[in-house]
Structures are given as structure tokens and as C-alpha cells.
Structure 1
Amino acid sequence: MGELTVFIIEDDFRVADVNRQQVEQLPGYRVAGCAKTMAEAFDILEDTQLQPDLFLLDVYIPDSPGLALFRELRIRFPEAGIVFLTAAKETGTIGEALRGGAFDYLLKPVSFERLQQTFSRFRQQHVLLSTRTELFQQEIDLMRTGGDAARNSAQTEGQLPKGIDRLTLDRIADIIRKSPAGGMNASDVGTAAGVSRSTARRYLEHLTAAGQVKAQLNYGDVGRPERKYIPSE
């Protein structure tokens, strides 16, 4: 997957420049444009036919009373994510933003680490939703909580979900690490590991959710796309 595009809407040009610099330090992202007002934002977006993957915006925009800009963006760009970066701390504003579908709500000044956490989680969600036809509960949980936090917690506690044992997990992980360039499907992994296809699939999805394995769909000439697993880079 290529870079995700970000459009920044911030009325203070100095803050906007800082935001741009921080976003462009994040792997897999590029800033596609900036605007100081709602009118300027929509002029740029309409002129360029830009379809950003993510908007980063302030609440306090001169020509956008309340959350007018946020509501308009949700209508015009329903598939784009929206992250607030603002000094607005009012619970009513925060509640409306989150209920309205904002991906995250960050208060100024935000640390680079916190910003990075949000953008990493957004990219994980974007990848899952754009490359998959179905999701398992563990993957939905991963999108909601963030993969790094989930992995760190699991590693710290040394716990595995019910139905996953360490020896089999390590064996399947090793099989994928040594797999051919095109990856392996669940049946092939099951045969190599000496387990059933459904068991192999369960372990492979656990490894995928943990970020140790990547799943990809290979489309053939006929029939349903084949799901193959490859090592994470």
C-alpha cells in the first residue's frame, strides 16, 4: 500500500507548518494540502479533485461555527478519516465529534509520540478495511485498540488466547518465515505443520493480528480470491 494523504485545516499558519512537519515524519503518510478556512479548504479540494485519506483539523476555524466544518467533511468525504488537533476541551464539543465519527481527538499541545500512535492505528485500520472482505473479532479489536499496545500487553503478560498454544504458534510462525515468495495458504500451512486447515487458519489470523504475518488476497482468473500469508517486513 502506498502513502496515505493528509489534508490539514488550521487557521494559524505557524501551527499548520508544525503539523505538516510532524505528519511528514510519519512513515506511510504525506501532506497533500493545507488550508486556513473552510472556504479555502473546499476551494482547494474542488479545484484539485483531491480525495484525502485523512483530515487533521482544528475546531476553531474562523468561518466554521462550532463543528460545521466537521459535519460538512463527513458529508462530502464519508470515507475519509478525521482527527481533531485542537485546544477545544469542552465536553459537548468532544462528545459530538466522537459520536459523529471522528477517528481521534487530540488536545494541543500533543506529543509526537501520541500523534504517531493515532496515525499508526489509522493506517492499520485503513489497511485491514481496504484489503479484506471479512474480519475476525481479534482484528476488529486490533483496529479499536491499536496493534502496538495489544502486542506489548501480550508480550508482557505472556498470555495467549484460548485455543492457541505456544509450540504450535512458533511452528507455524517459522513455516511462514521460510515460505516461498508468493506466500502460503492455510491448507499448505496446515499440511506443513501437521494440523487441520481450520486450525492453521486460526493460528495464522492470530499472527496477522499480532503483526507478525501479513495476509494478502491473490485474485485468479475464476472463483474466489485466495488468501495467502507472508512474513511481515
Structure 2
Amino acid sequence: MIEVLIVDDDARVARVNAAYVEKLPGFHVAGQAHDAAGALRRIEALPGLDLVLLDHYLPDGTGLAVIQEMRRRGLQTDVIMVTAARDVSTVQAAMRHGALQYLVKPFTFAGLRAKLEAYAQLRRTLDGGGEAEQAEVDRIFGALSAPAAPGLPKGHSPTTAELVRGCLMNAGGPLSAQEIAERTGVSRQTAQRYLKLLERTGQARLTLKYGDAGRPEHRYVWTAHV
């Protein structure tokens, strides 16, 4: 059983992430923490902890600082960042400090499931022990790489596709390209392009909102089930 600690400053989000983790065979939520100090206490106190799903924005520090302090204390628990921080400098720093993966909020259950299943596969590979030929080394280093989304057209990013998909799925109602752009940080044109892709693949449905004058506003509603 892979024991997981959920760290998020928002208790509601932590509960949702914990529910996601508990859905997956072979994973168990060992605890939750909502700030950096609490995370470090739990990591030290929990026996057999394997993995931390770590938010970056915490009330008393950052996820990166937590990783640094973990390593300074000799705590080698694996870390996957689960955060809304999307700037390249933070992603790069997380990688350099030893985070195994980086999942950008908002995300779907499918997005988290893919990361955790890849982590479980990595654990199985490493538990085999012994020496590794180059092919085995390549499998180990590539175990947590996100595979290209099947059928994704050329020029489309799997990360952006997952970001827009997750935003629309969690919206609870129709959203326009402008609203998606504001919630995810991508441009309106990018949001529109990915929304059209979701519509073409049957994951979203286009609706029209008519105003007092002018062209109707295009709005999209999530229709797929993950």
C-alpha cells in the first residue's frame, strides 16, 4: 500500500484530493496538512510515508521550501507538486529540488490518476532492485513522463488541454472562452481553440447565450464522464 500525505492550504481542496487518492487501488491517505510547519511535522511523524502531494502556496511558506527542509532533515519521502503555480521558474525549481512530478490545478481525477498510476509503476520498477541496463534506466527515468494525449492534434499541448478540460469539468455550468481564459491564465484565443477541440471530441457541448444586441455569445458545457 502506498501511503500518501495531502498538503493543501484549502481544507476543502485537501478533502477532494484525498477522496481522489482513496479511489485508486493500492493507495491510502495517511494524513492531511494545511501549512508548511504541519506538513513537516506529519512527514516526520508518519511511519512508512511514501508520497507527499504538495501544494506550493502555503500560509507560512512555500512547497519548495518544504522540499528543501525535508532534504536538509534527511527526509527522502517522494513528492509530487499539486499546485496552481504555473510559472516556469517554480516548475524548474521544483524539479531541481527533487519533485518527481508537477500537476497544475485545476485538474481532473483522470489527470491525478495518471500521475499516481505512473508513480506506482515507478515504485514497482525500483522495488525490483539489482542492476539496470540502459533500457531499464530509460524506463525508470521516463516512468513519470506524461504520455501524449491520444488523438491530440499537432500544435496542441497536453498540459494546456488538461488545464482547460479540468476548468470546464469543474465549472458546474456553461463557460465562455473569456471566462476559461480568466480562470486558467491562458489567452482567450488559446481557450477558444481548446474548447473547440473538446466540442469536436464530444467532451463539451456548445450553447449560445443571446443578449440584447449583437452576435450570441458562445458558451461551452462539460458533457463527458471521467
| Alignment gaps of 5+ in structure 2 | 151-226
Q: Is the 8 A contact 1:45 1:51 kept in 2?
A: no
- How has the CA–CA distance of structure 1 residues 127 and 78 changed in structure 2, closer, same or farther, with 3 Å as cutoff? farther
1:7 to 5, 8, 11: 5
Decide which structure has the larger Cα Rg and report it: 1
Between the aligned partners of 2:75 and 2:57, the Cα distance in structure 1 is 22
Q: TM-score, with normalisation over the residues of structure 1?
A: 0.57
Q: CA deviation at 1:148?
A: 11
Between the aligned partners of 1:106 and 1:89, the Cα distance in structure 2 is 9
Structure 2 counterpart of 1:41: 39
Q: TM-score, with normalisation over the residues of structure 2?
A: 0.59
1:63-111: CA deviation from partner (whole Å, max 9, x where unpaired): 1147211211233354321001100111111110012111001100112
Structure 1 counterpart of 2:118: 121
2:65 to 54, 59, 68: 68
Between the aligned partners of 1:108 and 1:121, the Cα distance in structure 2 is 18
Q: How many residues align?
A: 149
Residue 57 in structure 1 maps to residue 54 in structure 2:
yes
2:28 to 30, 43, 55: 30
- How has the CA–CA distance of structure 1 residues 67 and 149 changed in structure 2, closer, same or farther, with 3 Å as cutoff? closer
- How has the CA–CA distance of structure 1 residues 86 and 146 changed in structure 2, closer, same or farther, with 3 Å as cutoff? same
| Bigger mean CA deviation after superposition, 125-134 or 12-21 | 125-134
SS of the residue corresponding to residue 91 of structure 2 reads helix
Residue 83 in structure 1 maps to residue 80 in structure 2:
yes
- How has the CA–CA distance of structure 1 residues 145 and 65 changed in structure 2, closer, same or farther, with 3 Å as cutoff? closer
Between the aligned partners of 1:91 and 1:147, the Cα distance in structure 2 is 19
1:155-199: CA deviation from partner (whole Å, max 9, x where unpaired): xxxxxxxxxxxxxxxxxxxxxxxxxxxxxxxxxxxxxxxxxxxxx
**Amino acid of the residue matched to residue 71 of structure 1?**
Q
Between the aligned partners of 2:146 and 2:61, the Cα distance in structure 1 is 35
* Residue pairs, 1:132-211, within 5 angstroms: 132-146=129-143
Structure 2 counterpart of 1:217: none
- How has the CA–CA distance of structure 1 residues 142 and 35 changed in structure 2, closer, same or farther, with 3 Å as cutoff? same
| Alignment gaps of 5+ in structure 1 | 154-233
SS of the residue corresponding to residue 105 of structure 1 reads strand
Give the alignment's Cα RMSD to 1 decimal.
2.6
